[in-house]
C-alpha cells in the first residue's frame, strides 16, 4: 500500500527533531552516569539501579520516541489509496473481429470464446452504469451505443462475427473515447480485447495517450497462444502484440491480462468486471496513526507506574 502525505514537511521535521532528541538523551545519560561514578559511596547503589532499572527506563524512553515519531506521521496527514464503488460509470467494451479471430486454436473459434468471455463482463455490470459495444478490424463499428440495458448489450454481442480485415486498435480506442464523451457518468473505463498486431489506422500508443489525458483507464486483454494462429490466405502465424497492450494499460492506469486459454480468458474478464465499477481514492488515515501513538503512550504510562513501584520497593 502506497502512503503519501498532505503535509510532508511536517513528517520530514520529525526525521530532524527525533534524532536530535536521541543524541541529547545519550549525552545527558552519559554525563549523569559519569557524575555518579565520581562518588564512591554511590557505586554499589548505581550497580543495583543499573541492573534492575536501566533497561526499563530505556524501554520507556524508546516508547516516548516511538510515539513522538508516529505523531509526526499523523501530523503529516498520511493518505492511503482505497477502492470505492463509483457513483456512476460508463464502460466501453471493444472486441477485435479481424481475420485472426476466425482461427480455431480456441474451440470452436477465437471469436466464439471471446464473446462468451465478454458476457461475464456484461452480466457483472452493477449499479448506475452505461456501456457501449465497439468492434473492429481495419474499420471500426459501433454495435451498441451507450445503454444501461444488459439485454441490449448481450443481443448486440450475440450478433458479432469475425471477418477478414486488418487490425486498427488505435482507431477503435479513439472511436470509443468519442462515445464515452457523451456520457455524463463521472467514471469511465475501456476494456479492450485483441489477438493481433496493429496494422491499420492510428498508432495505438497515440490513442492511449488521448485516453490518459481524459483520465480513462484501458484494461487490455490479449487473446492467443504462444505459437500464434494460422488463418486462410496468410502463410505465417498471427501473433499477439503483448508489448503494445501492456504499454496501453500502463500508460492509462489500467491493467493487462493474457488469455492464453479459455479458462484464463474468462478469469481475465471476471477480474476486470470487479474493477470497472470502482475507483481508487486517497483517504486520510491520520486518525489511525494518532490512535497507535495514544496506545503506545498508554502502555508507557502503565510501565512507568510499575517502574516507580519498583524504585519505591
| 88: DSSP letter | S
Q: How many CB atoms lie within 10 A of CB 272?
A: 23
Q: Residue 217 above 90 pLDDT? A: yes
Q: How many CB atoms lie within 10 A of CB 43?
A: 12
Q: Residue 37 above 60 pLDDT? A: no
Tracing cell 482505497 back to the chain, one arrives at: 82
d(C-alpha 42, C-alpha 36), whole Å: 7
Tracing cell 484464463 back to the chain, one arrives at: 264
Considering just the CA atoms, what is the radius of gyration of the chain in Å? 31
Instruction: Indicate the pTM of the whole model.
Output: 0.70
d(C-alpha 272, C-alpha 186), whole Å: 18
Region 87-276: CATH code: 3.40.50.410
Contact between residue 211 and residue 181 where contact means Cβ atoms under 8 Å apart:
no
Residue-wise pLDDT for 292-306, tens only, equals 888 888 888 887 777
**Range of lowest pLDDT (33-47, 63-77, 210-224, 276-290):** 33-47
- DSSP string over 225-236: -TT-B--TT-SS
What are the structural domain ranges in the chain?
Answer: 4-80+283-312, 87-276
Strands laid side by side in the 89-96 sheet: 140-147, 129-136, 89-96, 187-194, 218-223, 256-259
Residue-wise pLDDT for 266-280, tens only, equals 999 999 999 998 877
| 129: DSSP letter | E
Residue-wise pLDDT for 142-176, tens only, equals 999 999 999 999 999 999 998 888 899 999 999 99
Mean of per-residue pLDDT scores for the chain:
83
**Range of lowest pLDDT (128-142, 236-250, 279-293, 295-309):** 295-309
What's the distance, Cα to Cα, between the start and end of the chain in Å?
48
Task: State the alpha helices, DSSP H only, in the chain.
Answer: 8-37, 43-75, 110-123, 150-158, 169-180, 204-213, 242-252, 262-273, 286-312
C-alpha cell at 237: 502465424
Amino acid at each position: 500500500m502506497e502512503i503519501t502525505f498532505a503535509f510532508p514537511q511536517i513528517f520530514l521535521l520529525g526525521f530532524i527533531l527525533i534524532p536530535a532528541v536521541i543524541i541529547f538523551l545519550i549525552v545527558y545519560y552519559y554525563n549523569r552516569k559519569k557524575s555518579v561514578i565520581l562518588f564512591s559511596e554511590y557505586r554499589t547503589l548505581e550497580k543495583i539501579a543499573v541492573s534492575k532499572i536501566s533497561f526499563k527506563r530505556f524501554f520507556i524512553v524508546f516508547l516516548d520516541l516511538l510515539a513522538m515519531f508516529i505523531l509526526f506521521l499523523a501530523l503529516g496527514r498520511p493518505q492511503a489509496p482505497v477502492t470505492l464503488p463509483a457513483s456512476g460509470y460508463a464502460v466501453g467494451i471493444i472486441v477485435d473481429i479481424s481475420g485472426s479471430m476466425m482461427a480455431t486454436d480456441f474451440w470452436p473459434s477465437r471469436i466464439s470464446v471471446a464473446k462468451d468471455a465478454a458476457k461475464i463482463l456484461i452480466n457483472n455490470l452493477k449499479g448506475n452504469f452505461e456501456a457501449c459495444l465497439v468492434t473492429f478490424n481495419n474499420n471500426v463499428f459501433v454495435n451498441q451505443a451507450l445503454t444501461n440495458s444488459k439485454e441490449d448489450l448481450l443481443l448486440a454481442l450475440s450478433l458479432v462475427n469475425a471477418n477478414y480485415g486488418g487490425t486498427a486498435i488505435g482507431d477503435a480506442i479513439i472511436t470509443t473515447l468519442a462515445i464515452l464523451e457523451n456520457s455524463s457518468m463521472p467514471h469511465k473505463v475501456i476494456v479492450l480485447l485483441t489477438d493481433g498486431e496493429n496494422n491499420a489506422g492510428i498508432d495505438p500508443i497515440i490513442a492511449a495517450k488521448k485516453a490518459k489525458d481524459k483520465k480513462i483507464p484501458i484494461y487490455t486483454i490479449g487473446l492467443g497462444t504462444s505459437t500464434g494462429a494460422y488463418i486462410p490466405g496468410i502463410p505465417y502465424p498471427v501473433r499477439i502484440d503483448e508489448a503494445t497492450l501492456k504499454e496501453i494499460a500502463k500508460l492509462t492506469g489500467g491493467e493487462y491480462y493474457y488469455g492464453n486459454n479459455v479458462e484464463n480468458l474468462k478469469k481475465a474478464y471476471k477480474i476486470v468486471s470487479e474493477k470497472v465499477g470502482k475507483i481508487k481514492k486517497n483517504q486520510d488515515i491520520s486518525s489511525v496513526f494518532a490512535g497507535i501513538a495514544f496506545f503506545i503512550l498508554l502502555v508507557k504510562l502503565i510501565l512507568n507506574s510499575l517502574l516507580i513501584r519498583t524504585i519505591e520497593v
